[in-house]
Amino acid sequence: MMDALSVVSQLRDLASEPQNRAVIVQDQGCLPGLVLFLDHKDPEVVFATLQTLRYLAELPPNIPIMNNELGMMVSLETLMGREGLSADITALAEEVYNILRAPVSVARRTPERERRKKSQFFINSSNKKAKSVTLHIQGLDSIDQRGLCEEALLKVKGVISFTFQMASKRCTVRIRSDLSTESLGTAIAATKVLSAQQVVKNETGEEVYIPLNSTGVEVPQNSALPDYLPEEEESPETKCDRAISRTTAKEDSNGSWLNAAASFLTKTFYW
């Protein structure tokens, strides 16, 4: 049975895959539902919704659509000013708001743009044997430190994608299931200025940090990196407009899970 948290968590997982972002935003039910989730009483639902919107905003053509979605900007402003919310929620709401409010510039292949694209690095994102790891990175205080972390992760063979949440000093990394989490810690520690801990939930649902011991861990290295990482619109994976991938349930065709989620949103919030 679907509930708000499970739906938005699945949408967040879908949105973490670059080839799914246009499909989700173009769906008539998902974006309005996400706006309504921003006003949910459960902070976990709100935070997962903001994470989803942050992923969706990484695709530039999505930004004007999201900005014009009824209630989107007002709901984000409300979260930014609401008392009693966690710092993570407030900071992420402000980050999404600023991204959606900023004018979308014409995409150009400048060195700065190529550097920024590394934060959205992905290879074979349809890999079904993948897992997501959330890291808390000590020392992640500026763009320069983020650049060091990007370079370290890009060198690790088996890293599929990663996204930073600078306000909370976190990085969500999708990796092949056969790659050890300790390898990520070793690669990040090799920067000499950063260190990583894994963020997990204990039996009571509270977040705890697990130190990543880098001693003696062999890190598989990419033999070579491309000079330019292809834009998402140039990826062959985007040729299938209805391609939907997810990692937490069985694969099904034609985006049927997305359709089910949209149906849930419609039945819950519209009459």
- The model's pLDDT over 189-225, given as tens digits with 9 standing for 90+, comes to 999 999 999 998 888 888 889 888 655 556 767 654 4
φ, ψ (nearest 5 deg) of residue 41: -75, -20
Query: Which CATH number is correct for 118-211, 3.40.980.10, 3.30.70.100, 3.30.9.100, 3.40.50.150?
Result: 3.30.70.100
**Tokens linked to 226:** 């491309």
Residue 246 neighbours by CB under 8 Å, 6+ apart: 10, 13, 14, 17, 257
User: Which of 188, 192, 190, 174 has the alpha carbon at shortest distance from 247?
Assistant: 174
Q: Which fold has domain 4-105?
A: Leucine-rich Repeat Variant (1.25.10)
CATH 3.30.70.100 domain extents, the chain: 118-211
Proportion of the chain above pLDDT 70, given as a percent: 69
Domain with CATH 1.25.10.10 in the chain: 4-105
> What is the rounded CA–CA span in Å between residue 170 and residue 136?
5
Compute the radius of gyration of the chain from its Cα atoms: 18
Contact 125, 161 (CB under 8 A): yes
Residue 268 pLDDT class (50, 70, 90 cuts): low
Helix (H, G, I), strand (E, B) or coil at 24: helix
Give the C-alpha separation, 129 to 176, whole Å. 6
Sorting pLDDT into bands at 50, 70 and 90, what band is 94?
very high
For 244-260, what is the mean pLDDT?
Answer: 46
In terms of pLDDT, which residue wins out, 44 or 232? 44
More confident residue, 39 or 243: 39
Decide if pLDDT at 67 tops 70: yes
